[in-house]
Amino acid sequence: MKSTLIGRQAVVVGAGMGGLPAARALADYFEHVVVLERDALPLDASHRIGIPQGRHTHALLAGGQQALADLFPGFEQDLAVASAVPVNAGLDLRFERPGQGPLPARDLGLVVHAMSRPLIELTVRQRVEQYDNITIRQRCRAHDIIASQDGAAVSALRFENNEGRSETLSADLIVEASGRGNLVNGVLEAIGRPRPEETAIGVDITYTTAVFAVPDDAPTDWKAVLTFDPPAEGGVTAVMAPLERNRWIVTLVGHHGEKPAVDRDGFLAYAHRLRTPTIYDAIKKAEQLGEIVRFGFPASFRRHFDRLEEFPRGLLPFGDSICRFNPAYGQGMSVAAQEARLLRELLERHTAEPDPLVGLAPAFFAEATTLTETPWALAAIPDLAHPKTVGQRPDDLEQRLDFTEALFRLAAEDLAVHKLLFEVLHLLKPQSVLSEPCLVERVKAVAAQA
Ligand SMILES: Cc1cc2nc3c(=O)[nH]c(=O)nc-3n(C[C@H](O)[C@H](O)[C@H](O)COP(=O)(O)OP(=O)(O)OC[C@H]3O[C@@H](n4cnc5c(N)ncnc54)[C@H](O)[C@@H]3O)c2cc1C
């Protein structure tokens, strides 16, 4: 352990895809890190009740994989050993946009890994468990955060332990990665402080997901498929990806009241009506494994903690507690991993301060806002194109949609643009790289030909 300790104990609420990397980031700076998780955690890659979304397709983008590898060196090898399926994002993913054929299959130098959400989480958890100073306490449900009388700082957390008894843990830092942010909101209310403003986009989508055994005659020219409708009709409409143990996962995405059926015939009929036959043709005779499941996602939201004038010392919301993205763009876990890497960088920078924790939350909120800007915009702009989506539309929405359309057409023609665009979609680069004047000129020229 480093000699840069800034506190005795940090407590993380939630052992999900935000809490686990956050715990690793804290482990170098606190004597003990305690992760409280309400679920019993499985020893294998099976589903658990606290992660209902885990039965649906979960893509780990290259930016998220990179952040996890920065926190856990050798993480990609762990994924490979765990039987995750390597997917070359330019070559193996059939990217089916409307108005053009699939993007040309090209090696863009981006290799990600496809696997189930339980397997991603298990792989991260096994790395976290290797730290002697991190303790994961299962079946412990956090109840409330205790603040000092003047509300300037938080000092402890009350929870129900695995024997059903109430316990209190003192903490120099409490990170809420419960996926909801209720505890942070609760303590802000208790000390009479305002909650953060929230921006929401009512996308009202319904995920319906089935898993299949990969048949012997499976196509060999792709491993994964992403099918889009025009943005005004909903954008991402189906995702298909490989899973460990020679399986496929297929998610059909219904928009604004469309609910793909949960029986095999209805599911296949919905897949048959997709804009392209790729997914239907692949699964129509494949053996279905287990039940078809559904998940309703009413709205993406973003909480503007960076706009609060004051925030209690020693408290940090994290992951989905700050920003919940439309899952169809596959960003949430990757952003949470990038936030954990950011947290580690900030702790490193703050160790030299007389009170390292005093400016931590404001610095984190400012930089996390920058970090979430690209993924938020990548989803929000197409989502707002649907007439039924509820949300504040920017004045230049039409221009932005036309720009994206033309950008994809240019990407189909030009390998360098294709690569740059995918680096942005995979959260390796900010969206601002797509505003370079010479690129903008070329995109406008393509748009003018339409
Ligand atoms: C349908 C769907 C599909 C998605 N697909 C993708 C995808 O393809 N790619 C992607 O990157 N992201 C995807 N996401 C988003 C991703 O699931 C989340 O962004 C990510 O899990 C956020 O991590 P988190 O730690 O904030 O929350 P979670 O990972 O949800 O973890 C929260 C944890 O806190 C625990 N908890 C809750 N309350 C308490 C309490 N009071 N006390 C103790 N423990 C508690 C829960 O049991 C859980 O373990 C998807 C989301 C949905 C809904």
Q: Average of pLDDT values for 29-52? A: 98
| pLDDT exceeds 80 at position 167 | yes
Do 295 and 309 belong to one domain? no
State whether 190 and 231 are in the same domain.
no
Q: Of the candidates 299, 326, 353, which is a domain's last residue?
A: 299
Please give the number of the atom of ligand 1 that sits closest to the Cα of 295: 1
Classify residue 93: in a domain, yes or no: yes
Say if residue 253's pLDDT is above 60.
Answer: yes
Residue 189 CA to ligand 1 centre (angstroms): 24
156/167 same-domain check: yes
Question: Can you tell me the distance from the alpha carbon of 377 to that of 396, in angstroms, rounded to the nearest whole number?
Answer: 13
Tell me which DSSP letter residue 352 carries. T
Closest to 425 in 3D by CA, of 213, 9, 168, 110: 110
Judge if 250 and 107 occupy the same domain.
yes
State yes or no: pLDDT of 365 exceeds 90. Answer: yes
What's residue 1's pLDDT? 45
Pick from 335, 334, 343, 341: which is nearest to 316 by CA? 343
Q: Minimal CA–CA distance to 297: which of 379, 179, 203?
A: 203
Average per-residue pLDDT in the chain?
97
Domain of residue 404 covers: 393-449
403-406-410 Cα angle (round to 5):
130
Token output for 220: 């060999």
Q: Is 78 within a domain?
A: no
Per residue in 67-89, pLDDT tens?
Answer: 999 999 999 999 999 999 999 99
2 within a domain of the structure (yes/no): no
Query: What one-letter code names the amino acid at 370?
Result: T
Q: Are residues 66 and 172 in the same domain?
A: yes
The pLDDT, as a whole number, for residue 2 is 47
CA distance readout (Å), 325 to 141, 196, 239, 270, 333: 25, 17, 16, 25, 10
Q: Is residue 80 part of a domain?
A: no
Contacts of 70 (CB under 8 A, 6+ apart): 341
What is the rounded CA–CA span in Å between residue 36 and residue 139? 8
Paired tokens of 365: 């909120």
Instruction: Give pLDDT tens digits for 99-119.
Output: 888 999 999 999 999 999 999
| C-beta neighbour count of 149 within 10 angstroms | 6
C-alpha to C-alpha distance for 360 and 343, rounded to whole angstroms: 9
Q: What is the pLDDT of residue 96?
A: 97
On whether residue 343 sits in a domain, the answer given is: yes
Tell me which of 58, 124, 139, 208 to substitute to probe ligand 1's pocket, judged by most ligand atoms within 8 Å of the beta carbon.
58
Note the pTM of the prediction, 2 decimals.
Answer: 0.98
Asked if residue 434 and residue 361 are part of one domain, the reply reads no
The shares of helix, strand and coil residues in the chain, as percent rounded to the nearest 5, are: 40, 25, 35
Expressed in angstroms and rounded, the spacing between residue 17 Cα and the centre of ligand 1 is 6
CATH of the domain at 123: 3.50.50.60
Instruction: Give domain status of residue 384, yes or no.
Output: no
How many H-runs (helices) and E-runs (strands) does the chain carry?
12, 17
Q: Looking at the structure, do residues 266 and 181 belong to the same domain, yes or no? A: no
* 58 and 142 housed in the same domain: yes
The number of beta carbons lying within 10 Å of the beta carbon of residue 93 is 26
Q: Which contiguous run of DSSP H or E holds residue 218?
A: none
Q: Which atom of ligand 1 is nearest to the CA of 143?
A: 41
Q: Are 142 and 40 in contact (CB under 8 A)?
A: no
Domain count, the chain: 3
Percent of the chain residues past pLDDT 70, beyond the cut: 99
Judge if 106 and 147 occupy the same domain. no
**Contact indicator for 318, 10 with CB cutoff of 8 Å:** no
Domain assignment present for residue 44? The answer is yes
Asked whether residue 12 carries a pLDDT value surpassing 80, the answer given is yes
Same domain assignment for residues 230 and 139: no
Instruction: Report how far ligand 1's centroid is from the alpha carbon of 284 (Å).
Output: 31
Q: Which residue in this structure is represented by tokens 């665009």? A: 421
- H or E segment and range at residue 56: none
Q: Are residues 208 and 284 in the same domain?
A: yes
For residue 228, give the nearest of 407, 98, 102 by alpha carbon: 98
Is 387 contained in some domain?
Answer: no
Which pLDDT score is estimated for 3? 59
Q: Which atom of ligand 1 is nearest to the CA of 14?
A: 34
Residue 272 sits in a domain of what CATH number?
A: 3.30.9.90
User: Which of the listed residues 355, 379, 403 is the one where a domain comes to its end?
Assistant: 379
Among 273, 299, 325, where does a domain finish?
A: 299
The verdict on 110 and 126 lying in the same domain is no
